[in-house]
Amino acid sequence: MSLTGVMSQVLEIVIAIALAPLLTGWINLWRAWLQNKSAPSLWQPYRMLHKLFHKESVIAEHASRLFRIAPYVMFGCMVLACAIIPTLSTDLPLAPAADAIALVGLFALARVFISLAAMDIGTAFGTMGARREMLVGFLAEPALLMVLFSASLISQSTSLTTIVETLARRELAIYPGLAFAGVAFTMVSLAENARVPVDNPATHLELTMIHEALILEYSGRHLALVEWASSLKLFAYSCIGLALFFPWGVAEAQAPLEMLLALPALMGKLAVGGFLLAVLETASAKMRIFRVPEFLATAFLLAVIGMLVHLLLNR
């Protein structure tokens, strides 16, 4: 384990924790501008976290320990997920310990804990949100796995660092399989992060919300950790998309000077991606919850088609 690898690993974790709320604020800013509304401050997510951390946590009388530890588990899973995604460098000491399958497992573990915590109190909205969250996860995780497998067919490895290194070193070319996988990944990321058209993060309508129903009983530092973890999840999915489909700019192992250019490249790509997400949400309408299985089934089908196209073209 080299000193450069340790520094790049620590830097990736710090950058993810620090920039995740900023990415959320950037998307909210552009979304308000595109809808001709008064935009909130770019730093509003940081102010919200600061306010929540200084408030007292009110916990229901019958809440178990699971309800109390779920925000910490969710936050830890999202930090670990961001740590194994090569956003700045491929020289990551934690990368050999986790591949694409383990990454999906981290997202699933966080989902299970927050869903169990929502049902722990016994409220109707919490249980409804947990059931909807598990429905989305049950359909989205296989599609995400197929997307990752489509990229792994090119590198012959499920290691994210190997995938990024292989794609970055290849000549610029159009891969039909990755094109299908890219569309599928976009659909999955919208569903997993409770964005339009699957869910609307700006609404609190009880009959339509998914993410908000899960966290209605949280307050204070627990709510701050959940919201921070949600921003980290959006950041992680954004970095996965950049690593799979736009891997250029990521520093390779034993190349510390490239790290100086990797951070501006990452911020530039995230800025463009956040703008495109705001445009997509503005141009879309929220679908009914009963149409979500069809939406995610289409994503799974596109990911499978991407794998088949790659196999057929490389026979």
Low pLDDT (below 50) residues in the chain: none
The β-bridge partners of 89 are 251
> For the chain, which residues make up each domain, given as ranges?
3-313
Burial of 166-187, coded b for 16+ CB within 10 Å and e otherwise, reads bbbeeeeeebebbbbbbbbbbb
pLDDT of residue 19: 95
Task: Give the per-residue pLDDT at 172.
Answer: 67
Q: Which residues contact 81 (CB under 8 A, 6 or more apart)?
A: 103, 106, 107, 232, 233, 236
Secondary structure (H, E, C), the chain: CCHHHHHHHHHHHHHHHHHHHHHHHHHHHHHHHHCCCCCCCCCHHHHHHHHHHCCCCCCCCCCCHHHHHHHHHHHHHHHHHHHHCCCCECCCCCHHHCCHHHHHHHHHHHHHHHHHHHHHCCCHHHHHHHHHHHHHHHHHHHHHHHHHHHHHHHHCCCCHHHHHHHHHHCCCCCCHHHHHHHHHHHHHHHHHCCCCCCCCCCCCCCCCCCHHHHCCCCCHHHHHHHHHHHHHHHHHHHHHHHHHHCCCCCECCCCHHHHHHHHHHHHHHHHHHHHHHHHHHHHCCCCCHHHHHHHHHHHHHHHHHHHHHHHHHCC
Other Cβ atoms less than 10 A from the Cβ of 138: the count is 13
Distances (CA, A) of 301 to 49, 187, 202: 39, 11, 30
pLDDT of residue 210: 84
User: Could you read off the pLDDT of 248-263 as tens digits, one per residue?
Assistant: 888 776 666 777 788 8
pTM for this entry: 0.95
Cβ neighbours for 80, distance < 8 A, ≥ 6 positions apart = 94, 98, 106
Residue 63 sits at φ, ψ, to 5 deg, of: -70, 140
